[in-house]
Structure 1
Amino acid sequence: MATGPKVQCTKCTKNAAIIACEGCSAKFCRQCFNGHRQDLSKELDNITYEHDMFKQQLEGPKADGPHRLLKQIDEWKKDSVNKINQLADQCRTDVVKLLDKNKEQLVHRFRKITNSVRKGRDDEDYDERDLIRWMSQLKELKDELIRPSNVRVEEDRQTSPWIQKIRISEGVLEQVKINEGKSWLRPAQLC
């Protein structure tokens, strides 16, 4: 019976290999094989530890607060509200300026009516038509004070939305490469 040369241990290269590992296909002497099994056992312990830690995260209370995606939505809301408040403040300032300007014009028109009424009374030169005209002019001024005809608030539909709308999308994982029985996954492109 002919025997071939002895295969050396892959790890220590001193002793003859007597056992092959099915997982990594390396050939070991008894001592190195025992060490290899201990290394595998330590890796399994690490995996078990990571498994248990992840399980605690899944089942445990939310100690670290809301999820980062919820925080992102809250930040968008805060930024949007700040933008709205800034624009509303600017619009209020503009309206106050326009109302003050409008009021100055109303005061000028009111003085003309006042002078006309006084002159009519002093001269006793008025009749029903004057009374109706003066009352109509006063009513017009009151209406103009309450609802100015030259000032209005309206939405600008010609410009792009000032606050960017957000949306929630769910990514789907797709298989892109199969290599030696292992699947490599990447997120699918979102439209």
Structure 2
Amino acid sequence: MSTLKRKNNSCIACGTAAGMFTCRGCSKTFCLNHTNEHREILEKQMNEIINNHNRLKQQISNEETDQYYKLLIEQIDQWEKESINKIYRTANEIRQQLIIITREHQDNIKEKLTQLTQEITKARYDGNFFEDDLKQWTNIIQRLQNTFLEHENIQISSINNGNPFISKISL
């Protein structure tokens, strides 16, 4: 039984029982020579950890990393400008369309109203009008009034055709 105990207390590397040291970290037993070797291995591992730490710290404070993020910010800014320009151009196009449609609509009604004014004025001046003329002019005025009011029903609508007008960005 004493031999068994001795084997458990012997150096893990060479098996000797002289000058024993048990490592608190790995719980292995070493002789004096192998204790130093074990400590050197631990020092190498510590140096590797410190080097990795320093490399990471350098990467974080590196200008290239800052430049990369600046480039991403520039891309976001560019997307923003392009999106705003698309909205601005589209709004101007729709405004122009509305102005043109409204002018054409009003000009058309004004032209018909001018013709009707001339006809009514001439009939009144000549005293040449009857009930059916009055009814016809009333109907024309009512149609022009309805046409004018219909134009007030113009509405702005959004078109969703599956293709986004402004593409969404994300990280």
TM-score range, shorter chain: 0.3 to 0.5
Which of structures 1 and 2 has the larger relative contact order (alpha carbons within 8 angstroms, sep 6+)? Answer: 2
- Bigger fraction of residues in strand: 1
TM-score w.r.t. the length of structure 2 is 0.48
TM-score w.r.t. the length of structure 1 is 0.44
- Bigger fraction of residues in helix: 2
